[in-house]
Structure 1
Amino acid sequence: MISMPDFKEKQILFVNTEWGKPSHLRYSNDNIVFEQDGKVINRASVHKVFAVFICGDLSFTTNFIKKSREFGVSVFLLKHNFEMYGGLFTTAEGHYLLRSKQYHQTDDEQLIMAKKLVTNKIKNQTNVITSGADLETKIIWQKKIKTFLDQIDAVTNCKVLLGIEGNYSKEYFGKQFANIDWRRRAPRTKEDINNLLLDIGYTLLFNLTDSLLRLHGFDTYKGFYHTLFFQRRSLACDVMEPLRPIIDRKIVKMFNLKQISTKDFIVENGAFVLPFEFYPKYVGNFLQSLMDEKEEIFAYIHGFYQHMMNPVKYPFPNFNLK
């Protein structure tokens, strides 16, 4: 299992391939080397890499797979729409005690955890909205959050809790993105630029969360809040909830800095698409926002691991935005 001092030195690499240019990843003298058309484009020390996101098509050898496992580097394979279709994951699969605790949680235990999770999320959402806001706005949102927190306290099942979370998020998105032509949150539809960027950012966040959970030995298909579906990594969906405002805040910041241009996007079959030449621009911004919070993210997930192993000694963790 990776430690905090080790993780502090780690980075995430994003590899974007181009159509018509044969691309290749390999190891050379403890470096990960990215080549296109036989030319070295970039390299990074494997000792500083936690994960590699590969968008598009490239080749690597069985030796690359072997070395990635030896060095504990997870590799995520993404389609050009950022949907993950496979990967090489560093895991602690033999942690049977942790997984036994996951599988034998009671409904009441899961509900208690879910309520704390959603409380953490809406507090972070509120902090994003009220940061730098005028006094009147802060008072309005403190009243709102109190109402929702009271509702959460009274919840008796996760289905109702999902509804409360959804209602608060609807108000939150309307306020957070009010100045950037916000209509509604529509996951995976890519009906506008805002939803496309949220999908991209959340996908990167989801994969980072899932990778850290796997490193600790969790079965990420077994969640405690979101409904269990075949091939759905429900635990990663659960644990990432309080982290989502990292991406929300970054999109607004990018808009304010004029880093988002409508000319970068095209529409295909009624859905907005980001052409591959603009991937580094947007993905780079999202990855940087995650790396800025990486120590806090690691501490949060490690705290979740400690809570699962010994809930009496270790309280359910909170993630607090910087």
Structure 2
Amino acid sequence: MMTTKDFEAKQIIFIFLQPKEIISFQNDNILIKTADRKIKYQITCYRIFALFVVGHFVLTSGLIQRSHKFGFPIFLMTNGFKLYESFGGHMEGNILLRKHQYEYQGLELGKHILMNKVKCQRENLNLQRDKSEELKKAIAALDRYIKEIEYYQGNLEGLLGLEGSAARIYFKQEFNNVQWGGRKPRIKNDYINSTLDIGYTVLFNFMDALLRIYGFDTYCGVLHRQFYMRKSLVCDVMEPFRAIVDHQIRKSINLQQCAEEDFQLVDHRYLLKWKENQKYIQFLMKGILQYKMDIFVYVQQFYRAFMKQKDAKDYPVFEMIK
């Protein structure tokens, strides 16, 4: 399995293909060539952790072969960052791990994950310099929700209800630097919700790639219950790290890197303009990669704790410290 030292040298590569550009190979290097066949970008396969291809292109057997040979997953995305296919870069045959997954019952691990998530949201709010009375009340409310989740003894629906209530308080203050109607997943009714969806999609696929390294069944969750074609475990494990995306978007709004004019309104949905894709991926990945090693170590420790069937209190905790 991949070690911390191995992962440190790896890169997450996004390729935005323009019309008539192609992906080709030379020795063990991936080359991106322009329409006139000049080399636009080149990277060795040894350094790729995950490869994201945005836009339309011709898939060759060489790309698939190198994905399997060097152990990196390939994610194919539309121009709107919707994932439509992924392959490669996963371990097969970790039967004991999957046996533990299928046998797991209870809410303790789910509670542990949600407490970690709300603590990270609290830390995000605490990072704001101007502490208004409303912000202080929101931080105090999140503290109460952390305690409620910790001692909660009800069913899954009630637990998710606590998390949802905490989220409504959090988002109102996290984006108090703009006029905003609140978080509405996947509806894309404004540019902030649309940007959050993009950031969470990138984080989701990064986490999916990490979980595949260890052979998890990513469709079998411990908090999000099984649902047809939903990678519930990825949804679970990424929860504490969503705050990274939130914080980066708030900063990018303040720096005027993220703005409403970067989007076009199509059927009442805010969709990012193609020419802005690379800029948005750059600032969103900047936030995620700042915690690259923290995320890797978290997943590594999560795997070890799961294999040893430890108590929830012995699972890893992510902290927003940077």
**Aligning the two structures, in what range does the TM-score lie when normalised by the shorter sequence?**
over 0.9
| 1:105 counterpart residue number | 104
C-alpha distance in 2 between matches for 1:11 and 1:95 = 25
| 2:71 counterpart residue number | 72
- 2:158 corresponds to which of 144, 157, 160: 160
| 1:143 counterpart residue number | 140
Equivalent residues in 2 for 1:35-50, closer than 5 Å: 35-37=33-35, 38-50=37-49
Calculate the aligned-residue CA RMSD, in Å.
1.7
| 2:121 counterpart residue number | 125
C-alpha distance in 2 between matches for 1:311 and 1:100 = 11
C-alpha distance in 2 between matches for 1:70 and 1:299 = 24
| Mean Cα deviation higher: 22-31 or 190-199 | 22-31
Contact 1:16 1:55 in 2 (8 A): yes
SS in 1 for 2:160: helix
Contact 1:130 1:141 in 2 (8 A): no
Equivalent residues in 2 for 1:277-296, closer than 5 Å: 277-296=275-294
Contact 1:26 1:60 in 2 (8 A): no
The one-letter amino acid paired with 2:215 is G
| CA deviation profile, 1:42-63 (whole Å, cap 9, x unmatched) | 1112222101111111123202
Contact 2:122 2:143 in 1 (8 A): no
Q: CA deviation at 1:139?
A: 5.1
C-alpha distance in 2 between matches for 1:9 and 1:205 = 19
Contact 1:12 1:287 in 2 (8 A): no
TM-score, structure 1 normalization: 0.94
Contact 1:227 1:234 in 2 (8 A): yes
SS in 2 for 1:197: helix
| CA deviation profile, 1:29-83 (whole Å, cap 9, x unmatched) | 3221112312221111222210111111112320221111111111100112211
Equivalent residues in 2 for 1:234-273, closer than 5 Å: 234-273=232-271
Contact 2:64 2:88 in 1 (8 A): no
| CA deviation profile, 1:188-217 (whole Å, cap 9, x unmatched) | 111100000000000000000111001111
Q: CA deviation at 1:142?
A: 4.6
Q: Which runs of 4+ in 1 moved over 4 A?
A: 134-139
The one-letter amino acid paired with 1:35 is K
TM-score, structure 2 normalization: 0.94
Percent identity of equivalent pairs? 35
Runs of 5+ unmatched residues, structure 2:
none
Contact 2:110 2:223 in 1 (8 A): yes
